[in-house]
Structure 1
Amino acid sequence: MITSIFKKSSIVNYTLVFLLLLASFFVYQNSLLRQSNNVVGNSANALLIILLLVSFFLVNFIVKKNGLTKNSSYAILFFLLYLLLFPSVFSNSNILFANFFLLLAMRRLISLQTLKAPKEKIFDACMWIFIASLFHFWCILFVLLVYISIIFHVSRDYRNWLLPFVAFVATAVVFLFSALLIDETWIDHVMVQAQMDFELDYFTNNYQNAALSFYVVAALYFLFSMIFTLTNRPLILQASYKKMVFGFLIGSVVFILSPEKNNAMLLFTFFPLAVMTTNNIEYSQSKMYQEIVLLLLVVGSFMAFFAQL
C-alpha cells in the first residue's frame, strides 16, 4: 500500500513529504522549548525551514535530472525518514548549511557524465565543497569525490587535476579577506573544527544509540546491496552510482573524524543512502519485499523520532 503511494511522482506525494517535514520540524522545536528556556527566534526557524526545503528540492532535482531513480518519490521520502532518525539535525544550522553546499557540489559532479563544460563543473563542485568546509571543516574530504569523478570521466586532461587547487585558493582568499574585514572569530571556528575525535561516547540517552544502530544496519544493507548489484544497473549510470557509494563512505569518514560529534553529522550520508535505498526498492520484483522494507523504515524512523523528543 505504501509503495503504491510513492512509486510515482505527483504533487500529492511532494506535498505529503513536505507536510511531514514541517510537522516533524515544529514537533521537535516544541520539544526543545519544553526541555529548556532557550527560545529559537522566528527568523532562525524560518532559515532552518528554508534550508531543509531547498535541500529536499535539490535531492529531488538531482535524482530526476540525472536519472538516478525511476519516476518515483522514494528518494525524498527516504531522505525524510533518515532525517527523522536523528531529529537533532533540525536545530543544527551549520550542518544544514554544509549539507546544502555539498548537495550543490554533488549536482555538478554527477552531471559530469554528460562531458559538457567539465572544467566549470569541477571548479564549481570544489568551490561548493570548500564553502561547506567553512561550516563543518571535515567536509573538505569530499574533494576526494571530485578526483574520483575526474578519474571516471575526464582524467586525460591534466588541467582538470589542478582545478581543485585553484578553487581552494580562490575560496580561501575570499574567506580570509571577509573574516579579517567582518569577524576574525570565523577563522577560530574553522580551526576548532579541524581537530579530530574518534570517540563515540556522545550519547545522552539510549534512544540515540538505538537510532544510530538502526541506521548503521540499514545503511550497510543498502550499501552492500548497491555494490553487489552494480553491474546489473544501466551502464550509463554505473559511474553515478559509484559516486553515491563513495559519497556515502566519505560522509561516514567525516562523521568518524569530526570533533564535538553528534548523530546530526550523519546528514552528509543521507543523500547517497536515499539513492541507494530507492534503487533497492525500485529494482526489486517482489511487491511484498518492497512493502516490508518500506514499512520497516517508516516504523523505525518514526519510533526513533518520537523516542528522542
Structure 2
Amino acid sequence: MLASVFSKTRPFNYLVIGILSLFFFSIKIIALAKPTADWVYYAEQFGLYVLLFASLFILNFITLKNGLTKGNNYALFLFFVFLLFFSSIFQNKNIIISNFLLLLALRRLISLKSLLQTKEKIFDASFWIFLAALFHFWSIFYIILVFIAVILHVSKDYRNWIIPFIALFAVTILFFLANSILDNSLMSTLLDKTYISFDFYYFENIYQRIALATFTSLSLFAFVLHVFDVRNKALNMQSSHKTILFSFILGVGIYVLSANKNNGCLAFCFGPLAIIGANFIEKIENNWVKEIVVYALLGLGIFFFIMQL
C-alpha cells in the first residue's frame, strides 16, 4: 500500500511527508532542548525545519521536472527515510543550510541539458556552492560537479569554464563585506572549519554505527546498480543520471573530508541517493516485493531514529 501511494505524484504525498517530518523533527528537538530553552530556540528550530522541508520539495522538483524518475514520489520518500536514519542532522543548522544550497545548485546543473541560459545556470550553481561553503566549508568540493556538468553539456565555449571563478569572486566580496560588519567573526569561524579530518571514531552509541553500516550497504548496492543501468536510459537522459552519480560521489567526499565529522554530514548524499534509490524501486516489477522494500526502509528509519534519541 505504501509503495502504491508514492508510485504517483499527488498533493497527499507532500502532506504526509510534511506532517511526518515535522513530527519526528519536533520529537528530536524537544528531546535535545535544554530546560532553559525559550521561544527563540524553538523559532530557530522551526526555521530549520522549513529549510529541511524546502530541501525535500527541491529534490522532488529536480526529480520530476527533469524526468529522473517515472513520475513518482519515491525520491521524496527516501530522502525522508534517510533523515530518520541520521537524525543528528536535525541539530546541525550549518549542514541543513549548506545542503539546501547545494540542492539549489544541483537543480541548476541538471537543467543544463536543455542548453538554455547555460551561463546563468553555471553562475547560479557556482554561486550557491560557494555560498554553501561558508556554512560547511567542504561543501566547496561540490564545485567539481560544475566542471563535470560543463564537460557533459557545454564544454566547447571557453567562457563557461571561467564563470565559476566569477561566482567565487562575487561570494568572496559578499563574505568580506559581511565579515567587516561582524568584526571578523565570520573569518575566524570559517577558518576553524577548513582543516581535513579522517577521524571516524565520532559515534555516540552503537546504533549510529549500525545506521552508518546499513546506509553504506544500501548506498553501495543502489549506486552500483545505477551505474550499470545508466546505459539503458534514454540517450538524452544519460548525462543527467551521470551528474546524479557524480553528485553522490562528491557528497561522500564532503563527508570524508569534513571536520567535526558526524553522521549528519552524510546529508550531502541524501538527494542524489534518493534519486538513485527511486530508480531502483520503480524498476521492481513485483508489487509485493516493492511494498516489502518500502516498508522495510521506513521501518529501519524509524528504528534508528528511536534508538538514537
TM interval, short-chain normalised:
over 0.9
* 2:133 alignment counterpart: 133
Question: What secondary structure is seen at the aligned counterpart in 2 of 1:199?
Answer: coil
1:306 to 1:38, Cα distance in 2 relative to 1, 3 A: farther
Deviations 1:174-231 (A, max 9, x none): 1112101224111111111110001100001101111111110111111011001111
- Give me the CA root mean square deviation: 1.2
Contact 1:214 1:300 in 2 (8 A): no
Aligned letter for 2:192?
Answer: V
* 1:173 alignment counterpart: 173
* 1:236 alignment counterpart: 236
* 1:39 alignment counterpart: 37
Aligned letter for 2:297?
Answer: L
* 1:96-175 equivalence runs, <5 A: 96-175=96-175
Contact 1:89 1:96 in 2 (8 A): yes
* 2:215 alignment counterpart: 215
1:135 to 1:195, Cα distance in 2 relative to 1, 3 A: same
Q: Does residue 255 of the first structure (1) align with residue 225 of the second (2)?
A: no
Structure 2 gaps, min length 5: none
Structure 1 gaps, min length 5: none
**Cα distance between partner residues in 1 of 2:305 and 2:219:** 18
Contact 1:196 1:258 in 2 (8 A): yes
Question: What secondary structure is seen at the aligned counterpart in 1 of 2:133?
Answer: helix
**Cα distance between partner residues in 1 of 2:75 and 2:206:** 29
**Cα distance between partner residues in 2 of 1:282 and 1:232:** 14
**Cα distance between partner residues in 2 of 1:279 and 1:267:** 19
* 1:23 alignment counterpart: 23
**Cα distance between partner residues in 1 of 2:176 and 2:293:** 48
Contact 1:122 1:163 in 2 (8 A): yes
**Cα distance between partner residues in 2 of 1:205 and 1:112:** 43
Task: Indicate the larger mover: 292-301 or 114-123.
Answer: 292-301
Give the CA deviation at 1:38.
5.8
Give the CA deviation at 1:259.
0.8
Question: What secondary structure is seen at the aligned counterpart in 2 of 1:246?
Answer: helix
**Cα distance between partner residues in 2 of 1:208 and 1:183:** 38
* 1:273 alignment counterpart: 273
* 2:289 alignment counterpart: 289
Give the CA deviation at 1:291.
2.1
Aligned residues: 307
Task: Indicate the larger mover: 282-291 or 271-280.
Answer: 282-291
Task: Indicate the larger mover: 269-278 or 163-172.
Answer: 163-172
Identity %: 40
TM-score by length of 2: 0.97
**Cα distance between partner residues in 2 of 1:63 and 1:175:** 32
TM-score by length of 1: 0.97
**Cα distance between partner residues in 2 of 1:292 and 1:157:** 48
Task: Indicate the larger mover: 54-63 or 78-87.
Answer: 54-63
Contact 1:2 1:294 in 2 (8 A): yes
* 2:184 alignment counterpart: 184
**Cα distance between partner residues in 1 of 2:46 and 2:85:** 22
**Cα distance between partner residues in 2 of 1:136 and 1:193:** 7
Aligned letter for 1:111?
Answer: S
Question: What secondary structure is seen at the aligned counterpart in 2 of 1:175?
Answer: helix
Aligned letter for 2:253?
Answer: V
Give the CA deviation at 1:232.
1.0
**Cα distance between partner residues in 2 of 1:266 and 1:183:** 32
Aligned letter for 1:39?
Answer: A
**Cα distance between partner residues in 1 of 2:173 and 2:204:** 39
1:213 to 1:116, Cα distance in 2 relative to 1, 3 A: same
1:286 to 1:38, Cα distance in 2 relative to 1, 3 A: farther
Give the CA deviation at 1:283.
2.1
Contact 1:105 1:124 in 2 (8 A): yes
* 1:86 alignment counterpart: 86
**Cα distance between partner residues in 2 of 1:73 and 1:298:** 14
